[in-house]
């Protein structure tokens, strides 16, 4: 039980409940067709996303990780995405140092009304990950 090999790659998305999760819902309600690779984890706020979750996902098998929150100034909790922006920017710069292509991680802002934008984000990010190919070629070494 995993992603459908050959057709999909493993993409994990952390979406804030108020804006981006709603934006993804809006895209669904509007029937905006999207690639199926993305799996969504709902969090209250992008400020809840510890960069370590992203690393954990990448180290453990994800081929791409997407974090999406409310647009700056629109945070339901007023400041959460401001903290997220700093932390995730640091992470984005750190990843290539560890040998992880920084295109495998993307963070962005999508509001609850931006269904079309959400579709584009998912489509483009999925496309980018497919261009990069699988991150985990070989089975992980066991103990």
Partner 1 sequence: MTVEKLKEAVRKILPEVDVVIGYRQGFDPLHATPFFMTKPEQVDQLIWNPLCVQNLCSYLPFLKGKVGVIVKGCDSRAIVQYMQEKLIARENVKVIGVPCLRVISVKKVLAAINQQSVQEVTFEGENILVKTPEGQKTIPLADVAPRKCATCQLATPLQYDLLAGDAIQSNKPQDTFEETKEFEKLPLKERRAYWEKEFDRCIRCYACRNACPMCICQDKCIAESRDPHWTSQRANVTEKSMFHMIHGLHLAGRCISCEECERVCPMDIPVAKIKKKISMDLKELFNYEAGMNPDDTPPLYTFKIEEATIKEHEL
Partner 2 sequence: MRVGVFICHCGNNIAGTVDVAKVAEAARMMPGVAFATTYMYTCSEPGQEEIKEAIKREKLDRVVVAACSPRMHELTFRRTVEKAGLNRYFFEMANIREHCSWIGEDKELNTNKAIEAIKLAVEKAKQNKSLVASRFKINKRVLVIGGGVAGMQAALDCADGGLDVVLVEKSPSVGGMMARLDKTFPTVDCSICILGPKMVDVSQHEKINLYAYSEIEEIKGYVGNYQIKIRKKATYVDWSKCTGCGACIEKCPSRNAYDSFNFGVAPARAINIPFPQAIPKKAKIDAQFCRQFIKGKCGVCAKFCPVGAINYEMKDEIVTEDVGAIIVASGYGLIDLDKLPEYGGGRYPDVISGIQYERILNASGPTSGHIERPSDHTEPKTIVFVSCAGSRDKSIGIPYCSNFCCMYIAKQTILTKDHIPDSQSYVFYMDIRAPGKGYDEFTRRAQEEYGAKYIRGRVSRIYPKGKKMVVKGADTLLGTTVEIEADLVVLATAVTATPDARMLAEKLHISYDQNGFYVESHPKLRPVETNTSGVFLAGACQGPKDIPASVGQGSAAAAKVLSIFSKDTLESDPQIARVNTNVCVGCRKCIGTCPFGAIEEQQLRDGRIVANVIETVCAGCGICNSTCPCGAIQLQHFTDNQLLAEVNALCLT
Residues that bind partner 1 (CB under 8 A): 51-52, 55-56, 59-60, 72-73, 79, 82-83, 85-87, 89-94, 96-101, 106-109, 121, 124-125, 128, 140-143
- Applying CB under 8 A, the span of 36-44, 91-99, 102-110, 126-134 interacting with partner 2 comes to 36-44
> And the tokens for 63?
């081929």
Strand partners, 69: 109
Nearer to partner 1, 29 or 52 (CB): 52
Least distance between partner 1 and beta carbon 11 (Å): 13
Burial 10-21 (b: 16+ CB within 10 A, else e): bbbbbbbbbbbb
Among 9, 20, 22, 105, binds partner 2 (CB under 8 A): 22
| Residues near 54 by beta carbon (within 8 Å), at least 6 away in sequence | 14, 65, 67, 88, 91, 105
Q: Three-state DSSP class for 20?
A: helix
| Residues near 104 by beta carbon (within 8 Å), at least 6 away in sequence | 58, 62, 63, 64, 65, 95, 129, 132, 135
Nearer to partner 2, 40 or 128 (CB): 40
Which spans of this chain sit near partner 2 (rule: CB under 8 A)? 1-4, 7-8, 10, 12, 17-19, 21-22, 24-25, 27-29, 31-36, 39-45, 47-50, 53, 56-57, 60-62, 70, 73-74, 76-80, 83, 87, 111-114, 119
């Amino acid at each position: 039980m995993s992603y459908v090999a050959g057709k999909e790659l493993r993409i994990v998305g952390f979406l804030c409940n108020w804006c981006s999760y709603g934006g993804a819902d809006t895209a669904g309600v509007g029937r905006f067709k999207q690639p199926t690779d993305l799996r969504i984890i709902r969090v209250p706020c992008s400020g809840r996303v510890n960069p370590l979750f992203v690393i954990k996902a990448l180290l453990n098998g994800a081929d791409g990780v997407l974090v999406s929150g409310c647009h700056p100034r629109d945070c339901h909790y007023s400041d959460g995405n401001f903290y997220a922006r700093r932390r995730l920017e640091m992470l984005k710069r750190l990843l290539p140092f560890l040998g992880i292509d920084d295109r495998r991680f993307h963070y962005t802002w999508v509001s609850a009304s931006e269904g079309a934008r959400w579709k584009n984000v998912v489509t483009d990010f999925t496309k980018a990950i497919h261009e990069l190919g699988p991150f985990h070629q070989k089975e992980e070494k066991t103990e």
